[in-house]
Chains A and B, each alone.
Chain A
Amino acid sequence: MQVEQILVSTLILTTPILLAAIGGLVNRQAGIVNIGLEAKMLSGAFVAVIVSSATQSWFIACLAAALSSAVIGWMFSLTITRAHANMIVAGLGLNILVAGVLGFILSWVYKTSGTLRQPDVVLLPDVLPEFFEKIPVIGPALSSLDPLTIFAWITVFCLPFVLTNTRIGLWIRATGNAPHVTRAVGLRSLAIQDASTAFAGFFAGLAGAHLALASLGLFNEGLTAGRGFIALAAFYFGRDRPIQTAMACLLFGFLDNTQIRLQTAGFPPKLIGMTPYLMVLLALIFTSVRAQRKARL
């Protein structure tokens, strides 16, 4: 009965996590653990709202969000690759810095705090024609698909191909695996890492745009609500492989979605919220222990 609706909302809740995780996993394949996804999502959401209102175009808004976050990502990458900053601390610092800058802009430019409403924000449209809704079970989910969700899933399914079959994909994997080898064969490993972080920024920006424009049409300081870290958990859980990571995102989106049911069944909301992290921890332990067993044999 409600399967359709669960499907719809799981899909929508998954999209921002998925977009951020796509960026994060590519970044990590190139050897950078991106703790700053949260910051880039937030700035993406902000830019998306401003631009959507100004241009009346969801497309330009998403593009602007993605590009601005890509630039932030690229600059962030420079501190890591060129100035040898520790990526974890720099990422945490970026999260604080971006939140501070956005708060500042909100209060000084827009004379508001926390929430920014702009007139005539254009939301993401439903893409597929209405008759899709008639398809049983998955119909409603299909008909509520927005362009970013479609883009995210297309990317997920293209990504394995891109990573295995294109030059840049090979370079990224080689850089993450053995940067000295990449350099030895004449590739610019640092530039490849920078590009991957910019890519992560691009997708985190889209994730932010989705949060802001999927249904709300406004910016809020708490909009990302730790989804950057959930994305991190997802690509750790999926071990940087696109399909597996996407499945982890779906699982986390589903968990988020079923909170209400679990809450009525007596689970405290706080403890439900920690499941992704617990799962990553357990997965990490499991794989490490298994790897060691294997090595000992």
Chain B
Amino acid sequence: MFPAKDTPTSLSNNNQERVVFPRAPDFSHAREAIVLSTDRSVALGAVDLHKSYGATKANRGISLSVMRGEIHAIVGENGAGKSTLMRMLQGVERPDSGHVVIADKPVVLNGPAEALALSIGMVHQEFMLAPDLTLLENLVLGEEPVTRQLGPLSRIDWAKALREGQGLAESIGAQIDWQRRTSSVPVHILQFVEIIRLLRRGCNVLILDEPTAVLAPPQVEELFDLLRNLRANGTTILFISHKIGEVMALADQVTVIRQGKTVFHSTIAETTGPEIASHIVRDAPPLETSPPPSRTVTGEPVLELDGLSARSLEKSQSLDNISLQVRAGEILGIAGVSGNGQGELAECIAGLRDTSAGNIILQGADITGETTLARRNRGLAYVSADRRHEGLTTAASIETNVIAGSHRAPPITRGGILSRKNLRQEASKRLAALKVVFGKVTDPADSLSGGNQQKLVFARESADNPKLMIASQPTRGVDLNGIAAIHGLLRDFRDQGGAVLLASEELDELIALSDRVVVIFEGRLVGEVTSPAGAMAQIGQMMVQGDAA
């Protein structure tokens, strides 16, 4: 790893000597592919990047050029290949073919430290800040200004550090109390600190990975002001998002990625929101179309929420007075920009999060104070958005994963004794019913592909004839075949009279599956669409702005 204190110049020289290309590099086409405008230089770019993980082709030809001093947005759906691209731009991973361009030169990066040394910095969604340290301490950690050089024992020049921090904060128009403990500071300020830390380390290109996902709208405004100031100071910004409104409001350039390829590029001035949207979703996988729009649901209400509210804990969104109904034989979609409370709402209904007011009624019974177990016994099923940490125990066997939750019920447990034989039988039955592809039932769940993992989750959750299924981001990180299968499962469940509460950030998915869609915005329900087909624009509007105007 490179010592971080080396100057960028010496490093890039150093770096060029060490450049090793897996294949004979051919940069002959590089210039033409990248350069869209000749009067300014490319701060950060990519030429025809390919990257596969096993059979999954995450990037299949991505080219990109971010001009110096611009805000450049990359948009695309989840799974379009944005995060893979970021990892390669940042040097965390190497492309299978193609190359990254920094400051007009093709480079091979061997890690984030090298990218950092070449003035490329990234702000992750998980902040790299130690919670118990002050902001100032986090700012200088790893590159402390010292009064006199004594190696690790050098005294840190806090006055200088503070001057630096304040200077940088001022230059981008941020107000930061540097002496506060990090854990007590609002999340958007932390984001500013991350940005300032990168600036302090000499970064002039910043990559921001969905920076608004965790922010409330006023905070988003503050962030945008700050980013504009940065641009004015000459910093280049690569901004990853899937929110068209934000892109239109902030960016100079936009590049759309779909299915691992760049499909569209334009300056913002020359395009429109709908045009970008059309590129994001065009040629979407052939999903089954939604049921006839006239389909009316007449089933009994299975789930009723009456004025449900929940407090915000740590980084979570609070919920405010949510009322809704899901009937038997109905899929109710919940649309919303990530972080607006869909996940929290699902957790409240599943009994994994405390509510502060309102009632949850399942099949006529008030379950507000009941445990998760009691709710499940009443027919609640929950497909977690976080499959790898909450939906599954990846280290445990497949059979354990598919049985957990039903392990106390017959035929698995009778008279207090858990029958391994019945467990295995039941597990095999469940896995077969949903056509999960696996090796042995004793293999760890980790050995399954993403789609099969999710099918396993459905196999478990649908086994005990639930009345209500809460499906939170059910197709996140699932391949196309898997998505089709999971959509089929949800439809079948509905058609057999089940009620589904579907939370998804994939608008296509919501529209394809839902009988009705409600939109959640900042923890409140802001609208309802009774025939979702063709209402994408309307829903999108509400998701972004919180009203249908």
The answer on direct contact between A and B (beta carbons under 8 Å) is: yes
A interface residues with partner B (beta carbon < 8 Å): 165-168, 170-171, 173-174, 177-178, 180-182, 184-187
If A185-B141, A185-B142, A186-B142 touch, does A180 touch B128 (CB 8 Å cutoff)?
A: yes
CA distance A50 to B2 in the complex (A): 44
- Name which residue of chain A comes closest to B152, CB basis: A168
- Please count how many residues in chain B sit with their CB below 8 Å of the partner chain's CB atoms: 28
CA distance A187 to B5 in the complex (A): 11
Q: Please name all residues of chain A whose beta carbon is closer than 8 Å to the beta carbon of B152 when the two chains form the complex.
A: 166-168, 171
- Name which residue of chain B comes closest to A168, CB basis: B152
Are A174 and B133 interface neighbours, CB within 8 A? yes
CA distance A71 to B360 in the complex (A): 61
CA distance A181 to B131 in the complex (A): 10
The residue in B116, B132, B142, B155 that gathers the most chain A C-beta atoms within 10 A of its C-beta is B142
B171 is an interface residue with CB less than 8 A from chain A? no
Partner among A166, A178, A181, A186 whose Cβ is within 8 Å of the Cβ of B4: A186
CA distance A190 to B140 in the complex (A): 20
Q: Please name all residues of chain A whose beta carbon is closer than 8 Å to the beta carbon of B131 when the two chains form the complex.
A: 177-178
If A167-B152, A168-B152, A186-B1 touch, does A177 touch B144 (CB 8 Å cutoff)?
A: no
B344 is an interface residue with CB less than 8 A from chain A? no
Partner among A167, A174, A187 whose Cβ is within 8 Å of the Cβ of B146: A167
What are 27 A-to-B residue pairs whose CB atoms are below 8 Å?
A: A165-B155, A165-B156, A166-B152, A167-B144, A167-B152, A167-B154, A168-B152, A168-B153, A173-B132, A174-B133, A174-B137, A174-B138, A174-B141, A177-B131, A178-B129, A178-B130, A178-B132, A181-B130, A184-B128, A185-B128, A185-B141, A185-B143, A186-B3, A186-B4, A186-B113, A186-B116, A187-B142
Query: B residues 122-151 with Cβ under 8 Å of A?
Result: 128-133, 137-138, 140-144, 146, 151
- Name which residue of chain A comes closest to B117, CB basis: A186
CA distance A173 to B154 in the complex (A): 16
CA distance A164 to B75 in the complex (A): 43
Are B156 and A170 interface neighbours, CB within 8 A? yes
Q: Please name all residues of chain A whose beta carbon is closer than 8 Å to the beta carbon of B116 when the two chains form the complex.
A: 186
B438 is an interface residue with CB less than 8 A from chain A? no
B158 is an interface residue with CB less than 8 A from chain A? yes
A266–chain B nearest beta-carbon distance, Å = 45
Are A181 and B128 interface neighbours, CB within 8 A? yes
Q: Is the interface of A mostly helix, strand, loop or mixed?
A: helix
Are B156 and A182 interface neighbours, CB within 8 A? no
If A165-B156, A186-B3, A186-B4 touch, does A170 touch B129 (CB 8 Å cutoff)?
A: no
Are A182 and B141 interface neighbours, CB within 8 A? yes
CA distance A178 to B140 in the complex (A): 15
Q: Please name all residues of chain A whose beta carbon is closer than 8 Å to the beta carbon of B4 when the two chains form the complex.
A: 185-186
B306–chain A nearest beta-carbon distance, Å = 24
Nearest first, the 7 closest Cβ-Cβ pairs linking A and B are: A185-B142, A168-B152, A178-B130, A186-B4, A177-B132, A177-B130, A184-B128
- Name which residue of chain B comes closest to A195, CB basis: B152
Q: Please name all residues of chain B whose beta carbon is closer than 8 Å to the beta carbon of A187 when the two chains form the complex.
A: 141-142
CA distance A166 to B142 in the complex (A): 12
Are A170 and B144 interface neighbours, CB within 8 A? yes
Are A181 and B129 interface neighbours, CB within 8 A? yes
CA distance A180 to B126 in the complex (A): 11
Q: Please name all residues of chain A whose beta carbon is closer than 8 Å to the beta carbon of B146 when the two chains form the complex.
A: 167
Q: Please name all residues of chain B whose beta carbon is closer than 8 Å to the beta carbon of A180 when the two chains form the complex.
A: 128
Q: Please name all residues of chain B whose beta carbon is closer than 8 Å to the beta carbon of A184 when the two chains form the complex.
A: 112, 128
- Name which residue of chain B comes closest to A184, CB basis: B128
Are B142 and A177 interface neighbours, CB within 8 A? no
CA distance A187 to B113 in the complex (A): 11
A29–chain B nearest beta-carbon distance, Å = 10
If A181-B128, A186-B4 touch, does A166 touch B154 (CB 8 Å cutoff)?
A: yes
- Name which residue of chain B comes closest to A187, CB basis: B142
CA distance A180 to B131 in the complex (A): 12
A121–chain B nearest beta-carbon distance, Å = 33
CA distance A165 to B152 in the complex (A): 11
CA distance A181 to B140 in the complex (A): 12
- Name which residue of chain B comes closest to A171, CB basis: B152
A283–chain B nearest beta-carbon distance, Å = 19
The residue in B130, B132, B156 that gathers the most chain A C-beta atoms within 10 A of its C-beta is B130
Q: Please name all residues of chain B whose beta carbon is closer than 8 Å to the beta carbon of A170 when the two chains form the complex.
A: 133, 137, 140-141, 144, 156
CA distance A185 to B4 in the complex (A): 8
Q: Please name all residues of chain B whose beta carbon is closer than 8 Å to the beta carbon of A185 when the two chains form the complex.
A: 4, 128, 141-143
